[in-house]
């Protein structure tokens, strides 16, 4: 059985910007997601990047809490940005949010949660427990087929309740 979603911990305000402000690239020194593509739960780290924080964001950030889910669609190194099909920016990188000399985790379709519950932080891409996965599905704003990464068989998915190909769950090569 595949996992319905994974989780990563990101410092505020960057986590907030991924979910709320159109940030579409997470910059990392290493490819922490490997070959995984699909839904990722965004957890805001307890520690805040105060240098990056704006005055307006100070009121909005939720350190230590689960913020939402994004769809990870691609990972590449900054040196190969030019090979992607995305629109170029003035920097020549794939996004205004992308930084040089690192890996770009390309994210789309942010979804917020109806409640931002506390969660323990961690390193890298992690699995979530079935209980947490079920909680996330029940608290998603605007659920969509891609939000479940399980291989759907002929029976209804025990996590998201979707059935096979009929509902067009995306598969990642
Ligand atoms: Zn890039
Ligand atoms: Zn499912």
Query: From ligand 2's centre to the CA of 137, what distance in Å?
Result: 10
Helices (H), the chain: 14-20, 130-138
CA of 173 to the centre of ligand 1 (A): 19
Q: Which residues contact 156 (CB under 8 A, 6 or more apart)?
A: 162, 163
Kindly give the residue spans of alpha helices, DSSP state H, lying in 21-161: 130-138
Query: Which pLDDT belongs to residue 173?
Result: 44
Residue 112 lies in a domain: yes
Report the number of distinct structural domains present in the chain: 1
Q: Give the ligand with the smallest distance to the CA of 96.
A: 1
Please report, for the domain that includes residue 122, its CATH number.
2.30.130.30
User: What's the gap in Å between 6 CA and the centre of ligand 1?
Assistant: 22
Query: Could you read off the pLDDT of 122-142 as tens digits, one per residue?
Result: 999 999 988 898 899 899 998
Task: Say how many Å lie between the CA of residue 6 and the centre of ligand 2.
Answer: 13
Furthest C-alpha separation in the chain: 51
pLDDT digits (tens, 9 = 90+) for 95-118: 999 999 999 999 999 999 999 999
Nearest to 143 by CA among 105, 114, 172, 107: 114
Pull the structure tokens for residue 171.
């598969």
Degrees to nearest 5, angle at CA 3 with 150 and 15:
110
Q: Which one of the ligands is nearest to 98 CA?
A: 1
pLDDT score at 147: 82
The residue range of the domain holding 63 is: 6-167
Ligand (nearest to CA of 80): 1
Residue tagged 């390193």 (tokens): 123
Residue 1 lies in a domain: no
Worst-scoring range by mean pLDDT, 62-71, 84-93, 129-138, 140-149? Answer: 84-93
Ion ligand 2, residue ranges at CB < 5 A: 148, 150, 157, 159-160, 162
Ligand nearest to the Cα of 130, by number: 2
Indicate which ligand has the atom closest to the C-alpha of 100.
1
* Predicted pLDDT at 53: 96
pTM for this predicted structure: 0.88
Instruction: With respect to residue 173, please indicate whether it lies within any of the assigned structural domains.
Output: no
pLDDT digits (tens, 9 = 90+) for 22-64: 999 999 999 999 999 999 999 999 999 999 999 999 999 999 9
Ligand 1 centroid – CA 104 distance (Å) = 5
């Amino acid at each position: 059985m595949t996992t319905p979603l994974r989780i990563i911990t990101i410092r505020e305000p960057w986590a907030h910007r991924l979910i709320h402000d159109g940030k579409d690239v997470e910059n990392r020194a290493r490819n922490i997601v490997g070959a995984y593509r699909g839904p990722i739960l965004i957890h805001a780290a307890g520690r805040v990047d105060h240098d990056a924080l704006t005055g307006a964001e100070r009121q909005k950030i939720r350190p230590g809490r689960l913020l939402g889910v994004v769809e990870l669609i691609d990972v590449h190194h900054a040196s190969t940005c030019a090979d992607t099909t995305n629109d170029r920016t003035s920097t020549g990188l794939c996004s205004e949010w992308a930084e040089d000399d690192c890996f770009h985790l390309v994210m789309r379709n942010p979804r917020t949660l109806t409640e931002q519950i506390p969660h323990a932080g961690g390193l890298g891409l992690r699995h979530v427990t079935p209980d947490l996965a079920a909680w996330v599905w029940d608290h998603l704003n605007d659920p969509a087929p891609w939000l479940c990464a399980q291989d759907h068989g002929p029976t209804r998915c025990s996590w998201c309740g979707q059935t096979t190909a009929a509902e067009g769950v995306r598969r990642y090569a």
